[in-house]
Homo-oligomer: A and B are copies of this chain.
Amino acid sequence: MSSAVQILEPEADVRAAMRAIGAAARNASRTLANAEAERKNLALTASAQALRDRSADILTANALDLAAGKAKGLATAFLDRLALNPIRIEAIAKGLDDVAALPDPVGRVLATFTRPNRLVIERVATPLGVIGVIYESRPNVTADAGALCLKSGNAVVLRGGSDSFHSSAAIHACLVAGLNKAGLPEAAISRTPFASRLAVGQMLEGLGGTLDVIVPRGGRRLVERVQREARVPVFAHLEGIVHVFIDRAADLDKAVRIVVNAKMRRTGVCGAAETLLVHRSAAPRMLKPLIAALIEAGCAIRGDEASREADPRVTAATEEDWRTEYLDAIIAVRVVDSFDAAIDHIETYGSHHTDCIVTEDKAAAERFLKEVDSAIVLHNASTQFADGGEFGFGAEIGIATGRMHARGPVGVEQLCTFKYRVRGDGQTRA
């Protein structure tokens, strides 16, 4: 009995504390929604300054996390992502300054229409409310996500990976210092003080109706769990099965440059190409040089029969390869019989993230841009442009492949909803 009580008590504590965090965040969201742009920006720049001033404290906290991680036997790559240094801290601080410098997304008039009865109706951007961000042990996300939510007038509840507990806490303290300096409520950027998975479960349930949306930041397992279990809307993408389609009217030079960049510039990003489709009419001219360029750049090729015939270094692709997000220096290559077969392949195996056509045929390009149902469709440009920064959004909290509300890079504008303001002079309805 007593051990059951010991287990139950902390659970109840976590539940109660998480509800309290949610309620405080909801409360703060009302203040934040009406906060002037200058006040939010002051909080951001003051947070950046606090990060710079407290650099030593943050590194001390980070050393604790790193030591614990080493003792736990965490992988080197994991520890590298966790590690901070003065350059990384300055980059985080600069990120906050950059978000402060963005135009304020709240209050933008998205549409205006004057009705025959002289009512003037405006659709105007307003914050979403309270955003939950669940992320892995990357300390910088604490600052990035906190800043984007603050800028967009939303309160945020942050739940970072437990292996970055001390680092995240130290960075979070800088954000709180910024909020204090600007006279904004501390609960505007809350951090769950719990390492337990129960805290995540509470967030997925919506913190008692508090959370308006959840954003997972991390690997496939995390995103999968959030998408499966969340009872509130989620902005995320599970994977980026990104295609480059070389149309029959493609320019070889452009094709090679785009494909090599799309695949190899960085292989671990969601906009990295995973499958290369080549129109059968283009194959005789294109396949060999494309494969050679990829191999020269260090990429392994898994191809269909035509690809293997074009280059003996290509190994055989299986059905599974068309569905695989390698996030590595590997690409699947397939020759398709027609434009329609390319679109069918993309709709069958793709993840509606980012897809590209390379062609000099404008009509084919327009058809591809129209018919491929992905968040981002490109003509004659690398898929690695799938990024909020490259879109001019300043920063992104992630890329969404869902169809509701936000799709593609989620920047501060997409963290807003809207309402209608109607101005009259006494109109009544007949």
Q: Which A residues are closer than 8 A to B by beta carbons?
A: 30, 33-34, 107, 113, 115, 119, 121, 126, 128-129, 212-213, 233, 251, 253-254, 257-258, 260-262, 265, 347, 365, 369-371, 373-382, 384-385, 390-392, 403-405, 407-408, 417-429
Known: A30-B373, A233-B233. 9 other contacts (CB 8 A): A30-B347, A119-B390, A129-B403, A261-B428, A262-B428, A373-B419, A376-B422, A378-B422, A381-B425
Contacts of A257 in B (CB 8 A): 426, 428
What 8 pairs between A and B have smallest CB-CB spacing?
A381-B424, A261-B428, A405-B405, A254-B426, A378-B422, A384-B429, A381-B427, A382-B428
Chain B residue nearest to A424 in the complex (CB): B381
Chain B residue nearest to A382 in the complex (CB): B428
Q: Can you list 19 residue pairs at the A/B interface with Cβ under 8 Å?
A: A115-B391, A115-B392, A119-B381, A129-B403, A212-B403, A233-B233, A251-B426, A258-B426, A261-B428, A265-B429, A369-B421, A369-B423, A376-B422, A379-B421, A379-B424, A385-B424, A403-B417, A404-B404, A407-B420
Contacts of A253 in B (CB 8 A): 426
In the complex the two chains form, is B261's CB within 8 Å of A423's CB?
Answer: no
In the complex the two chains form, is A426's CB within 8 Å of B265's CB?
Answer: no
Contacts of A382 in B (CB 8 A): 427-429
Contact of A426 among B126, B381, B421 (CB under 8 A): B381
Contacts of A377 in B (CB 8 A): 419-422
In the complex the two chains form, is B420's CB within 8 Å of A380's CB?
Answer: no
With known contacts A378-B422, A379-B422, A371–B34 Cβ distance under 8 A: yes
